[in-house]
Structure 1
Amino acid sequence: MSSIRFGTDKATLLAKVVQRVKELKQQTLEISDSDQTLLPSETDEISVLHYGDYSNDGHIIFKASLCCDDRSDLLPDLMEILKSLHMKTLRAEMVTLGGRTRSVLVVAADKEMHGVDSVHFLQNALKSLLERSSKSLMERSSGGGGGERSKRRRALDHIIMV
């Protein structure tokens, strides 16, 4: 009887090891995918996706990505936008490289105030943030040089996904 029980325990242990290896492989894929998508690009980009159905606590989840020139007022502006839309940040990843920054936010909105169509509200708010940023950069760079934009500044190229 003990050999049967030992065999079952061994099989159970092996099944747990196989499951854990699969989980680790999946985590590795997710990490490598997020590293590549987190690097800032040369163009301004916005991406807002419905991330999932309602969470257990009655919130709808969105994933928003914003890539633009790095500036000191970006975080306060992002926080103000989320506050005005009554959304809270669940997770944030931000990378700055060469004067450019990419912010990836997972945000939650109360399902009684928001629906899946709230993607458009968040997109428009982020688009407005990028346009304000472009305008202020143009004003700063036009101070002494005839209104030309700086070399680092690229044309506003919004990539919006639903």
Structure 2
Amino acid sequence: MDKATLLGEVVRQVKELKKAATEASKGVLVPVGDDEVIVETCNDEATGTYCFKASICCDYRPQLLTDLRQALDALPIKMVKAEISTLGSRLRKDFVFTSCRTTANGDDAESRQYLACSVRRALNSVLEKASISPEYLPYSTFPKKRQRISYFDSSSSSS
């Protein structure tokens, strides 16, 4: 077998393994490699409320859970369920929340969409906060090196 054929076979097998791993992990909270925010509506069988599912997947950092809490507390929602999972330095947090319907004129679709967009904006703001703050950037960007310090003053050296 030549190198090109061997490489093609390896790529095909990796794709199959990735597809099998995706199928096997359905229903299991596994953080993915990319930062993502997902907000979707649920079946709201109880009258008078909206029901939503939301998830955020990102690198774990200090104050992440506090930032999530502050962002979601500003919205008119009630948390029903929250699950969290980690894999290495990645974190995935899934939420289920409800909100009371506030429109009496029957414009449910528009108010539901507005609330879903508000949740998505709040979660995206948490992701953006981590990406623009230099203290949360990966160590490869700012490696920790000791600063060189000279204990001798070069200007006062004798000739």
TM-score range, shorter chain: 0.5 to 0.7
Whether 1:116 aligns to 2:112 is: yes
Q: For the pair shown, which has the larger CA radius of gyration, 1 or 2?
A: 2
Aligned to 2:62: 72
**Deviation string, structure 1 residues 17-76 (Cα, Å, up to 9, x no partner):** xxxxxxxxxxxxxxx6321xx1011110110001123624x2211100100011231222
RMSD over equivalenced CA pairs, Å: 2.7
Contact 2:57 2:91 in 1 (8 A): yes
Whether 1:33 aligns to 2:29 is: no
Whether 1:83 aligns to 2:73 is: yes
Aligned to 1:9: none
Q: Secondary structure at the match of 1:129?
A: helix
Report the TM-score, using the length of structure 2 for normalisation: 0.62
Whether 1:45 aligns to 2:41 is: no
Runs ≥4 residues deviating over 4 A: none
Q: Secondary structure at the match of 1:94?
A: strand
Mapping 1:86-105, distance limit 5 Å: 86-105=76-95
Report the TM-score, using the length of structure 1 for normalisation: 0.60
Of residues 116, 119, 135 in structure 2, which corresponds to 1:140?
Answer: 135
How many residues of Structure 1 are paired with residues of Structure 2 in the alignment? 112
Aligned to 2:150: none
Structure 1 segments unaligned to the other structure (5+ residues): 1-31, 151-162
Q: Mark the CA change 1:54 to 1:74 in structure 2 (over 3 Å): closer, same or farther.
A: farther
More RCO (CA 8 Å, sep 6+): 1
Q: Using the alignment, how far apart are the partners of 2:72 and 2:90 within structure 1?
A: 21
Q: Using the alignment, how far apart are the partners of 1:110 and 1:53 within structure 2?
A: 11
Q: CA deviation at 1:112?
A: 1.3
Q: Using the alignment, how far apart are the partners of 1:107 and 1:40 within structure 2?
A: 20
Q: Using the alignment, how far apart are the partners of 1:107 and 1:141 within structure 2?
A: 29
Structure with the larger helix share: 1
Identity in percent: 34
